C-alpha cells in the first residue's frame, strides 16, 4: 500500500473548463454570478475530501473580440476573495485558494485580505501568486501597455517578500487582551516591516493578527524560467500545465532541485498539474461525452481562444485548416505560448486542430477515458516524479465533477492513493506543509539556547 497519497484541488470555473460548457444541457448557465452554484460545488468537493477548491482570476475581460466574447461564459464572474469568504461560512474543512495578481495590486491589500480569509475560515486560505498577462488588464489600471515580463517578475518577487513580512507583523501570542492589566497587546511582539525596495515602500504593521496557519499557503503558477525561479524560492504549491509525462517529469525534477539548492525541503513544494478528465464507465461513453462538448464550439470562439492562449497573437487572418504560423515572442504568458506551439509542431496540428485540442484543458493534460485508465495515468505521474497531486479541471459543472468523485475517486482509494478522511483542519495540514514559526520567536529561542548555563553557586563552607 502506498505511503504517499495524492493532493487534489477542485478547480472551479463558472460553468466548467470546456469553452462551450455553458451550452451543455446540464450546466448552470448563470454560474459565474450564482452563489448557490458555487456553494453546492464546494460542499461536494469537501464531502469528497479534496484538499482545496481553487479560483482563477483576471482583473479584466481578456477577450476583446465582441463576436467571440458574446458566445462565451467568461465575462461575468465573482471577485474570488469575496466569493471564498462567503464559501468559508458554508464549509468547514476544505482549503480555499484564490488567484490575486501582483501586477495590479498592492502588497498591503493582498496581505490583509488573505490574513482575514485565514481567520474567517479557521486556517484554510491560500494565495495563488501570479503576474498578470494581458493588455486588457493593463488598460484597466491607467496603463496603455502591459508591464514587461522581466519587470513583472521582479515586482512579483518583491511583492511576495513584502506580503510575508506583513503577515509576520505580530507574533502568535502578541494579542493578550488582558482586561485586568489593561494591556491589549505585548509591545515587544509587534514587528513593523519598514520595507524600502525597488518597487514598494511599506512601513507596516499589518492591522490583522498573525493568522491561524501562521501564514496562508503560497501557490504559484508560472512555468517560464522567471516563473520557475520565483516558484522555487517562494511557492509551497505549484499549479502547472503539461502535455506529456516527459515534460511533467522534467519540470518536477527541476523545481525540486532548485528548491533544494535554495536550502528548502523539496517535499514542502507540492507540484500539482492541471488535469481535464472526461470520465465514462466505458471508453465509448467518455468519448461521447467529450464529443458532445466539442460539437458545441462555435468556430469564432475557438479561433479567439487560441489567439488569447498564444499571448494575443491574432490567428483569425490565417487559414483555419492551415498550420499554426511562426509567432513572435510574447510579453504575455511565455510558457503557455511555447507549450502550445510545441504541441502543434509535434503533432502537425492545424489552427482548427489546435483550438479543438485546447478547448477544454487550455494546454493542461486532457484525459478522456474510464476510471481505471484515468487512475493509471495519475498514478504513473505521481509515482514516477511527475506530480505530487493534481488540480482537477472538470469539463462542466456539476456533472463533470460528480463523474470524477463518483467514478475515479473510488478507484484511487482502492489503490490507497487518496484519503478517505481529512487528517487535519487547516490547508497546511491537508497538504502536509509545516506551520511557519514566527522569525522573531525563533531568533529569541535560539538566543536563549546559546546563552551559557549559569555557574553553580559555591557551597557555603
Q: How many H helices and E strands in the chain?
A: 17, 11
Residue-wise DSSP of 306-373: HHHHTTT---TTS-TTSBPPP-PPPSS-HHHHHHHHHHHHHHT-BHHHHHHHHTTTTTSEEEEE-HHH
Locus of grid cell 470524477: 404
pLDDT in tens, 402-437: 999 999 999 999 999 999 999 999 999 999 999 999
Q: Are 98 and 81 in contact (CB under 8 A)?
A: yes
Q: What is the dihedral of CA 164, 167, 171, 173, to 10 degrees?
A: -140
Q: Is 185 helix (H, G, I), strand (E, B) or coil?
A: coil
pLDDT in tens, 170-180: 999 999 999 99
Domains annotated on the chain, with CATH: 7-167+202-281+370-439 (3.20.20.30), 287-359 (no CATH)
Highest average pLDDT, of 70-79, 390-399, 444-453, comes from 390-399
Distances (CA, A) of 21 to 194, 278, 347: 48, 12, 26
Percent of the chain surpassing pLDDT 70: 95
pLDDT in tens, 338-384: 878 888 888 888 888 887 887 777 878 999 999 999 999 999 999 99
| pLDDT value of position 344 | 83
Question: 107 preceded by cis ω (within 30°)?
Answer: no
Q: What is the pTM of this model?
A: 0.89
pLDDT in tens, 278-318: 999 999 999 999 999 988 888 888 788 888 778 777 887 78
pLDDT in tens, 2-26: 579 999 999 999 999 988 899 999 9
Locus of grid cell 458574446: 70
Q: Hey, what's the cell of 285?
A: 461513453
Q: Hey, what's the cell of 413?
A: 482509494
Torsion angles phi and psi, residue 221, rounded to 5: -130, 10
Per DSSP (E only), the strands in 152-242 are: 195-196, 201-202, 217-220, 237-240
224 is in an annotated binding site: yes
Residue-wise DSSP of 265-298: -GGGSEEEEEEEEEE-SSHHHHHHHHHHHHTT--
153 is in an annotated binding site: yes
Burial class for 380, CB neighbours closer than 10 Å (0-12, 13-18, 19+): middle
355 is in an annotated binding site: no
Please, which pLDDT band fits residue 203 given cuts at 50, 70 and 90? very high
226 alpha-carbon distance from chain centroid: 17
β-pairing verdict for 237-240 and 217-220: parallel
pLDDT in tens, 94-152: 999 999 999 999 999 999 999 999 999 999 999 999 988 777 788 888 887 878 888 99
| pLDDT value of position 78 | 94
**H or E element in which residue 392 lies:** strand 389-392
364 is in an annotated binding site: no
Amino acid at each position: 500500500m502506498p505511503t504517499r497519497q495524492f493532493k487534489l484541488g477542485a478547480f472551479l470555473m463558472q460553468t466548467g473548463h470546456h469553452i462551450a460548457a455553458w451550452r451543455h444541457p446540464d450546466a448552470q448557465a448563470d454560474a459565474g454570478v450564482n452563489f448557490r452554484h458555487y456553494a453546492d460545488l464546494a460542499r461536494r468537493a469537501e464531502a469528497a475530501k479534496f484538499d482545496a477548491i481553487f479560483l482563477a482570476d483576471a482583473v479584466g475581460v481578456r477577450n476583446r473580440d465582441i463576436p467571440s466574447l458574446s458566445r462565451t461564459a467568461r465575462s461575468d464572474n465573482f471577485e474570488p476573495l469575496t466569493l471564498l469568504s462567503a464559501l468559508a461560512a458554508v464549509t468547514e474543512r476544505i482549503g480555499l485558494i484564490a488567484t490575486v495578481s501582483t501586477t495590479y495590486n498592492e502588497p498591503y491589500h493582498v496581505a490583509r485580505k488573505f490574513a482575514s480569509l485565514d481567520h474567517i475560515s479557521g486556517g484554510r486560505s491560500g494565495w495563488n501568486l501570479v503576474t498578470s498577462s494581458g493588455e486588457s488588464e493593463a488598460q484597466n489600471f491607467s496603463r496603455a501597455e502591459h508591464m514587461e515580463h522581466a519587470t513583472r517578475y521582479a515586482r512579483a518577487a518583491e511583492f511576495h517578500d513584502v506580503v510575508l513580512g506583513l503577515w509576520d507583523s505580530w507574533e502568535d501570542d502578541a494579542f493578550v487582551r488582558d482586561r485586568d492589566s489593561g494591556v491589549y497587546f505585548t509591545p515587544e511582539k509587534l514587528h513593523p516591516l519598514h520595507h524600502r525596495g525597488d518597487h514598494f515602500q511599506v512601513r507596516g504593521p499589518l492591522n490583522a493578527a498573525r493568522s491561524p496557519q501562521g501564514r496562508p499557503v503560497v501557490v504559484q503558477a508560472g512555468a517560464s524560467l522567471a516563473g520557475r525561479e520565483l516558484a522555487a524560492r517562494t511557492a509551497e504549491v505549484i499549479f502547472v500545465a503539461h502535455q506529456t509525462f516527459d515534460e511533467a517529469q522534467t519540470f518536477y525534477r527541476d523545481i525540486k532541485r532548485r528548491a533544494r539548492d535554495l536550502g528548502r525541503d523539496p517535499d514542502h513544494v507540492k507540484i500539482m498539474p492541471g488535469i481535464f478528465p472526461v470520465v465514462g464507465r466505458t471508453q465509448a461513453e467518455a468519448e461521447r461525452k467529450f464529443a458532445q462538448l466539442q460539437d458545441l464550439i462555435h468556430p469564432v470562439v475557438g479561433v479567439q481562444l487560441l489567439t488569447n492562449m498564444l499571448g494575443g497573437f491574432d490567428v483569425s487572418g490565417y487559414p483555419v485548416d492551415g498550420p499554426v504560423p511562426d509567432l513572435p515572442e510574447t510579453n504575455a504568458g511565455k510558457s503557455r505560448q511555447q507549450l502550445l506551439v510545441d504541441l502543434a509542431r509535434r503533432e502537425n496540428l492545424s489552427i482548427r486542430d489546435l483550438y479543438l485540442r485546447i478547448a477544454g484543458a487550455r494546454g493542461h493534460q486532457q484525459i478522456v477515458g474510464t476510471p481505471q485508465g484515468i487512475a493509471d495515468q495519475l498514478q504513473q505521474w505521481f509515482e514516477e516524479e511527475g506530480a505530487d497531486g493534481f488540480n482537477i479541471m472538470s469539463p462542466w459543472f456539476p456533472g463533470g465533477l460528480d463523474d470524477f468523485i463518483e467514478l475515479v475517486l473510488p478507484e484511487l482509494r482502492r489503490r490507497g492513493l487518496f484519503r478517505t478522511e481529512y487528517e487535519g483542519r487547516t490547508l497546511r495540514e491537508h497538504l502536509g506543509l509545516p506551520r511557519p514559526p514566527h522569525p522573531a520567536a525563533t531568533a529569541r529561542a535560539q538566543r536563549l539556547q546559546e546563552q551559557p548555563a549559569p555557574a553553580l553557586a559555591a557551597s557555603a563552607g
